[in-house]
Amino acid sequence: MTACEGKHIVLVGMMGAGKSSVGRVLARKLHRPLLDSDELIEERTGRTVREIWSSDGEAAFRAIETETLLAMLGAGEPAVLAAAGGVVLAEANRSALAESDAHVVWLLAHVDLLVTRVTNGVHRPLLDDDPERMLRQMYTDREALYTEVADAVVSVDHRSINEVAQAVLRCAG
């Protein structure tokens, strides 16, 4: 019996921290579904993150993100949740995470690692102009928010995806 039996495991952290890749490994190991917020947003709306962002704006995207996070947390079967980097921004999301029974793990990456890993990519309109400056600013702005929501912190620096997944399981156990 682990501390997380019957509970969702929610991975939070900056873009490029490896939430989706680590989430896939964890879901496989635990025989659980993986719910990835950006993917679910695209499934639910039939539009890409970038389309929503460019036609309706960030605020509209964030509202859909909140609905999606609440739906993920409400999933009956315990799952692994990969929550997009920005979920910590809204107070409603932070409260939902705190009030849920979920085990929230912050995948903490040094910002220099994020800079080497992350390219703007189709679903990352925030990084279109100056990815490095933006990532550094976002890290400064969000560090306290990740700290606030996290039940556990796992460093991803110098670790493979499998090693990070093992570390998540250790701190969940």
Q: Which residues bind ligand S3P (CB under 6 A)?
A: 15, 19, 38, 49, 84-86, 123-126
User: Of the two residues 5 and 94, which places its CB atom closer to ligand S3P in the complex?
Assistant: 94
- Looking up tokens 């990084």, which residue turns up? 127
Q: How far is the CB of 138 from ligand S3P (least distance, A)?
A: 6
CB of 94 to ligand S3P, least distance (A): 14
Chain centroid to CA 126: 16
Q: Report in angstroms how near the CB of residue 15 gets to ligand S3P at its nearest.
A: 4
Q: Where are the alpha helices (DSSP H) in the chain?
A: 19-30, 37-45, 49-56, 58-73, 91-99, 111-117, 131-149, 161-172
Burial (0-12, 13-18, 19+ Cβ within 10 Å), 85: buried
Q: How far is the CB of 173 from ligand S3P (least distance, A)?
A: 26
Q: Which CB, 52 or 102, lies closer to ligand S3P?
A: 52
Q: Which is nearer to ligand S3P, 1 or 122 (CB)?
A: 122
Which of residues 29 and 125 has its CB atom nearest to ligand S3P in the complex? 125
Q: How far is the CB of 72 from ligand S3P (least distance, A)?
A: 13
Residue with the CB atom nearest ligand S3P in the bound state: 85
Say which DSSP state 48 is in.
-
Q: How far apart are CA 159 and CA 164, in angstroms?
A: 6
Residues 6+ apart with CB under 8 A from 156: 13, 17, 18, 22, 107, 108, 109, 113, 164
Helix, coil or strand: residue 170: helix
Q: Quick one: 22 or 101, whose CB is closer to ligand S3P?
A: 22
